[in-house]
C-alpha cells in the first residue's frame, strides 16, 4: 500500500489535509515543525517502515489545505489528532514531533492518555517560561519575541523577516544537503506568514495542558549545538515530564539531530504493545 493524501472534514467546518504511509505496522502520528506542509518526508517514512511502523501526518491549521483557525493553542492539536485517528481507525498509536512538532506531540500524549502509547520529541521547544532565559542561545529569537507582543506584531514581523543562516550549524547544512534535503524543500514550499505566526503565538502562550499531565514514556532527543531551540529546552522538559529520558547529542544542531530518528524509532519499537 502506498502513501495516500486525503482531506478530512471536521464537525466545526474545518478541513485537515492528512497523509498516511499505509500498511499494517503500528501507527505513529508525526507532528511537523514550523514551517512544514505535513507531507510525509521520505527519510521519516523509510526509517519507520524499516522498523515496522505506519506513519500518519497532517497539516496543522493554516498549512497546505488545512483550514486556518486563529487562536488555537498547542493543546488544540489533540482534538484534531483524535479526529484523524478515529477516521483512520487507529485505536492506539504513538506520537513523534520535531522542533515545533514536539509540543504538539506532547499535547496528544497529555490529552489522549487512552490512545497514545509513547512520545518522541526531537529538538522540541519547552513551554514559555520566565524561570530561566528561555530565549538564551537562539541565533534569532525575533519572531518568538514578536509573538509575545501579539498577533498583529508577529504578522508585521513576518512580512520582513529573513532566515538567519547562522541558525544552522555546519552539521545542519550537511544534513540538508543529504538525508534531510526533503525537509528543506518542504519548509520552503510550506512557508506561510499567517500560519507561522499562529504557530509562534501558540508556542509562547499557555499550551492548554501541563507537561506534568503526560504520563506515557517520552524520549527527548536534543542537539547540544542547537541554535534554534537550545539544549536547555530539552533539559527543562526532562525535569518536568514524569516519565522521560533525554538523549544528548552534543555535536548536533537543529536539523542534524534528526539523524537520530532511526535510533529513536528503535526505542519506540520496544514500547509497542504486544
Residues 207-237: tens digit of each pLDDT: 999 999 999 999 999 999 999 999 999 999 9
**Long-range contacts: 142-149, Cβ < 8 Å, 24+?**
143/196, 143/200, 144/200, 144/203, 144/204, 146/200, 147/197, 147/200, 147/201, 147/203, 147/204, 148/204
Res 121: pLDDT: 99
pLDDT in tens, 17-69: 999 999 999 999 999 999 999 999 999 999 999 999 999 999 999 999 999 99
| CA atoms of 261 and 182, how far apart (whole Å) | 15
pLDDT in tens, 145-201: 999 999 999 999 999 999 999 999 999 999 999 999 999 999 999 999 999 999 999
| CA atoms of 117 and 12, how far apart (whole Å) | 27
Phi, psi (degrees; rounded to nearest 5) at 237:
-60, -40
Domains of the chain: residue spans and CATH: 4-269 (3.40.50.1820)
Res 1: pLDDT: 54
Average pLDDT in the 247-267 region? 98
pLDDT for 269 beyond 70: yes
Res 84: pLDDT: 98
Average pLDDT in the 74-82 region? 98
Average pLDDT in the 78-94 region? 98
Res 2: pLDDT: 78
Res 273: pLDDT: 84
* Set of cell numbers at residue 214: 503526560
pTM attached to this predicted model? 0.97
Lowest mean pLDDT of 49-53, 225-229, 245-249, 269-273, name the range. 269-273
Amino acid at each position: 500500500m502506498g502513501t495516500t493524501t486525503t482531506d478530512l472534514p471536521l464537525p466545526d467546518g474545518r478541513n485537515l489535509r492528512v497523509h498516511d504511509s499505509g500498511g499494517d505496522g503500528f501507527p505513529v502520528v508525526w507532528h511537523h515543525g514550523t514551517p512544514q506542509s505535513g507531507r510525509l518526508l521520505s527519510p521519516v517514512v523509510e526509517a519507520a517502515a524499516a522498523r515496522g511502523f505506519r506513519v500518519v501526518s497532517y497539516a496543522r491549521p493554516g498549512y497546505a489545505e488545512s483550514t486556518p483557525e486563529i487562536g488555537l493553542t498547542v493543546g488544540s492539536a489533540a482534538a484534531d489528532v483524535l479526529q484523524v485517528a478515529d477516521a483512520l481507525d487507529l485505536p492506539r498509536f504513538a506520537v513523534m514531533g520535531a522542533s515545533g512538532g514536539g509540543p504538539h506531540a506532547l499535547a496528544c500524549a497529555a490529552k489522549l492518555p487512552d490512545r497514545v502509547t509513547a512520545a518522541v520529541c526531537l529538538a522540541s521547544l519547552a513551554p514559555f517560561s520566565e524561570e530561566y532565559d528561555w530565549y538564551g542561545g537562539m541565533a534569532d529569537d525575533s519572531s518568538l519575541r514578536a509573538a509575545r507582543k501579539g498577533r498583529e506584531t508577529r504578522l508585521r514581523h513576518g512580512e520582513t523577516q529573513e532566515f538567519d543562516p547562522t541558525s544552522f550549524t555546519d552539521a545542519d547544512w550537511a544534513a540538508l544537503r543529504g538525508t534531510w534535503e526533503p525537509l528543506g524543500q518542504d519548509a520552503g514550499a510550506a512557508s506561510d506568514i499567517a500560519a507561522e505566526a499562529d504557530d509562534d503565538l501558540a508556542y509562547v502562550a499557555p499550551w492548554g495542558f501541563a507537561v506534568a499531565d503526560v504520563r506515557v514514556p517520552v524520549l527527548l532527543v536534543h542537539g547540544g549545538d542547537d541554535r534554534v531551540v537550545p539544549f536547555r529546552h530539552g533539559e527543562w522538559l526532562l525535569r518536568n515530564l514524569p516519565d522521560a529520558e533525554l538523549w544528548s547529542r552534543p555535536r548536533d544542531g537543529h536539523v542534524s539531530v534528526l539523524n537520530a530518528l532511526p535510533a529513536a524509532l528503535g526505542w519506540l519499537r520496544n514500547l509497542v504493545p504486544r
